[in-house]
């Protein structure tokens, strides 16, 4: 087979140095259907290998991921720029933990679950929920958490017995191939976990192929297109989309603690998290002190190559992200936002660097809430009282995550319950996505379906209700033929079972006994004739 032509190779660029890290062959869109078909052919054997076998394979994958964690961490930093410290401390730790969580919990999550029946007519019946794999899953993942996000679909998907075709972002193709190598080395059959590479046309081909379900993480705009494509064949899609995540700082907040947490929540990963803190809504009584602390701490952040241990904030992941950030800051200033710090590219730095930026908005002109920043930019708006803060927090088409900062835990939880978001954190930010048990979802335009936790695994399976009658030769009184006597008997039975008036219950008891005794005798005579 001849080597791929140069123009058919996808290059991975280090955003800090602009050097080429590596390259992979682009998958022709017309080849995606055949790749999915090969996964379909491999699916039955993987399904019938049994959960015990699949758990053992994924346990090996977890151990390999632990042993290769530095290799993965370096690759994350080189491909998309986040500091190596973040790659290891945040992403790799959470990824290894996620694999361990699902391998431990898979027998409980995927085992048949008894459903007790309360109705007297069905008390003796066996009733349970059974979980079976769907088939081939299409996973489309972004570059900003290139290991943890796809693992949230791949690990439970494989454990449930599905085959997977995985398309990573074109910015992180080397991580995708490293993930595939990891699972193949652990024992996943080659056709059961496959990767495809390329841009939007390859992703569209995967959505249009004969996958059973699509798992997409990315922008709301692209997510809407994925859902539209999937709906053509009534294919379900799980979508983890964008946000404009608010942080409410109450008048009793520990300003030093809140400002440190929010600066970290806004600028880790260079602000390129779907659940980054983007809009701070701070009580006016403490706004001055809070903004002073935030600006001071933001100015101390050290920009640089992520492989330098002294780096706090790396580059943006691509030139497109850099240009978008510059446009965000220009637009904010033109709309009345006041630049407190940052707002420019640092001089003398070769890569896609941009200074962490804080912009103040007035209460009469609050921060825009319907635009996802996904950039090292933090908006701050003062508010008056908890009600005003919640109103500003909810004034968005998004509802992914939020945080509340207060020294009164009950107050924080009360405010949190009023925020329209899939996740709320009290006195912390972002970390809930790294908690394996924490089901992750969005409301409004921030998502459809669940990731992580038991609910995340439920998205990977067909949930089947099974109902078994132990009396194999007993005909039911509600079967044909119908009669007036049947209706009278059931009416009396409903009164006896459900009426709250004890006198009426006693009154209908003779009719109930007469009807159901006749039914039992009918079945006895039938059995005697057999």
DSSP per-residue letters across 87-104: IIIIIIHHHHHHHHHHHH
Going through 117-228 in order, the beta strands assigned E by DSSP cover 126-133, 136-140, 163-167, 193-196, 213-217
Residues 468 and 125: beta-carbon distance below 8 Å: yes
Backbone angles phi, psi at 417, to 5 degrees: -70, -20
254, pLDDT greater than 60: yes
**Residue given tokens 């920043």 in the structure block:** 373
Mean pLDDT of the region 256-277: 98
Rounded Cα gap, residues 162 and 319, in angstroms: 37
The token duo for 359 is 């912009």
Rounded Cα gap, residues 150 and 403, in angstroms: 25
Residues 426 and 418: beta-carbon distance below 8 Å: no
CA angle at 124 for the pair 118 and 130, rounded to the nearest 5°? 80
239, pLDDT greater than 50: yes
pLDDT for 120 equals: 87
Predicted confidence band at 6 (pLDDT cuts at 50, 70, 90)? very low
472, pLDDT greater than 80: no
Residues 106 and 330: beta-carbon distance below 8 Å: no
Which of 279, 283, 445, 298 has the alpha carbon at shortest distance from 367? Answer: 279
3, pLDDT greater than 80: no
Give every CB contact of residue 231 below 8 A, 6+ residues apart in sequence.
none
Q: Quick one: DSSP state of residue 271?
A: G
Domains of the chain: 30-241+455-464 (3.40.605.10), 246-434 (3.40.309.10), 484-525 (no CATH)
Predicted confidence band at 69 (pLDDT cuts at 50, 70, 90)? very high
Predicted confidence band at 518 (pLDDT cuts at 50, 70, 90)? confident
Residues above pLDDT 90, as percent of the chain: 90
Residues 138 and 165: beta-carbon distance below 8 Å: yes
Catalytic residue among 78, 91, 274, 372: 274
User: What is the overall mean pLDDT for the chain?
Assistant: 95
Q: Quick one: DSSP state of residue 120?
A: G
pLDDT for 7 equals: 54
The token duo for 181 is 């190598």
pLDDT tens-digit map of 390-418: 999 999 999 999 999 999 999 999 999 99
pLDDT for 474 equals: 79
4, pLDDT greater than 50: no
DSSP codes of every residue in 22-41: EEEEPPPGGGHHHHHHHHHH
pLDDT for 478 equals: 85
* 340-344 LR contacts (CB < 8 Å, sep 24+): 340/291, 340/294, 340/295, 340/380, 341/295, 341/298, 341/299, 342/298, 342/376, 342/377
Entry pTM: 0.94
Residues above pLDDT 70, as percent of the chain: 98
Catalytic residue among 78, 212, 240, 278: 240
Catalytic: 170? no
Mean pLDDT of the region 270-289: 98
Sheet holding 338-341, edge to edge: 338-341, 357-360, 377-383, 279-283, 246-249, 401-405, 423-426
Catalytic: 274? yes
Facing residues of 214 across strands?
Answer: 138, 237
Predicted confidence band at 1 (pLDDT cuts at 50, 70, 90)? very low
The token duo for 240 is 């983890």
- Please tell me the least confidently modeled range out of 48-52, 222-226, 250-254, 515-519: 515-519
């Amino acid at each position: 087979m001849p080597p791929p032509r140069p123009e058919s190779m996808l290059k991975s660029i280090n955003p800090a140095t602009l050097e080429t890290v590596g390259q992979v062959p682009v998958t022709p869109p017309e080849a995606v259907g055949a790749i999915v078909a090969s996964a379909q052919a491999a699916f039955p054997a993987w399904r019938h290998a049994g959960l015990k076998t699949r758990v053992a394979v994924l346990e090996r994958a977890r151990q390999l991921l632990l042993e290769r964690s530095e290799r993965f961490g370096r690759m994350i930093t080189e491909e998309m720029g986040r500091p190596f410290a973040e790659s290891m401390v945040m992403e790799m730790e959470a990824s290894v933990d996620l694999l361990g969580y699902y391998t431990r919990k898979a027998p409980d999550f995927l085992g048949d679950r008894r459903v007790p029946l309360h109705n007297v007519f069905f008390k003796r019946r066996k009733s349970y929920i059974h979980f079976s794999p769907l088939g081939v899953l299409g996973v489309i993942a972004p570059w900003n958490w290139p290991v943890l996000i796809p693992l949230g679909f791949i690990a439970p998907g494989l454990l449930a017995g599905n085959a997977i075709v995985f398309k990573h972002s074109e910015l992180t193709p080397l991580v995708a191939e490293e993930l595939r190598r990891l699972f193949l080395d652990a024992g996943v059959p080659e056709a059961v976990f496959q990767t495809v590479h390329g841009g939007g046309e390859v992703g569209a081909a995967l959505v249009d192929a004969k996958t059973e379900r699509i798992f997409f993480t990315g922008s709301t705009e692209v997510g809407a297109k994925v859902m539209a494509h999937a709906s053509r064949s009534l294919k379900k899609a799980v979508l983890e989309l964008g946000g404009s995540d608010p942080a409410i700082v109450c008048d009793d907040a520990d300003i030093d603690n809140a400002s440190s947490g929010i600066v970290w929540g806004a600028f880790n990963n260079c602000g390129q998290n779907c659940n980054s803190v983007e809009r701070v809504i701070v009580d006016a009584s403490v706004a001055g002190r809070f903004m002073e602390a935030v600006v001071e701490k933001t100015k101390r952040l050290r920009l640089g190559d992520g492989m330098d241990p002294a780096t706090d904030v790396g580059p943006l992941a691509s030139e497109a992200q850099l240009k978008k950030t510059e446009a965000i800051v220009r637009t904010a200033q033109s709309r009345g936002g006041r630049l407190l710090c940052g707002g420019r590219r640092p001089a003398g730095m070769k890569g896609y660097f941009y200074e962490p930026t804080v912009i103040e908005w007035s209460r009469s002109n609050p921060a825009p809430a319907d635009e996802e920043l996904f950039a090292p930019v933090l908006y701050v708006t003062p508010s008056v009282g908890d009600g005003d803060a919640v109103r500003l927090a909810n004034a968005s088409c998004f509802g992914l995550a939020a945080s509340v900062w207060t020294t009164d835990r009950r107050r924080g939880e009360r405010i949190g319950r009023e925020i329209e978001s899939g996740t709320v954190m009290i006195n912390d930010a972002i970390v809930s996505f790294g908690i394996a048990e924490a089901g992750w979802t969005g409301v409004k335009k921030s998502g459809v379906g669940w990731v992580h936790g038991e609910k995340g695994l439920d998205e990977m399976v067909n949930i089947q209700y099974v109902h078994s009658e132990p009396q194999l030769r007993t005909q039911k009184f509600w079967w044909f033929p119908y009669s007036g006597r049947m209706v009278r008997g059931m009416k009396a039975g409903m009164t006896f079972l459900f009426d709250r008036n004890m006198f009426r219950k006693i009154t209908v008891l003779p009719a109930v006994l007469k009807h159901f005794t006749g039914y039992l005798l009918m079945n006895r005579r039938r059995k005697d004739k057999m």
